[in-house]
Chain A
Amino acid sequence: MALRLLLWLVIAGGLAAGFAWAPLVPVLGATTHVLYLHVPAAFVAFIALGWSMLHSVLYLARRDMRHDDHAAGAAELGILFCVVATISGSLWAKAQWGSYWNWDPRETSIFFVLLIYAAYLALRGALEDGPRRARLSALYSVLAFVTAPFLFFVVPRLYASLHPSPILPSREQGSMDPRIRVCFDAMLVGFTGLFFWMLNLRVRLGALARRHAEVELEPPDSAVAAAGRGTR
Chain B
Amino acid sequence: MDLATFLVQCLNALQYGLLLFLVASGLTLIFGVMGVINLAHGSFYMLGAYMAYALAPAFANLGGLGFFATLAAGVVLAVVFGYLLEWAFFSFLYERDHLQQVLMTYGLILVFEELRSLAMGDDVHGVAAPAWLSGSIPLGTLMAYPVYRLFISGVCVLLALGLYAVISRTRLGMMIRAGASNREMVSSLGVDVRQLFRVMFAAGVALAALAGMLAAPVSSVYPGMGNQVLIICFVVVVIGGIGSIRGALAAALLVGAVDTFGKVFFPQAAGVLVYVLMALVLLWRPGGLFKAT
On whether the two chains bind one another, the answer is no
Residues of B in contact with A (beta carbons under 8 Å apart)? none
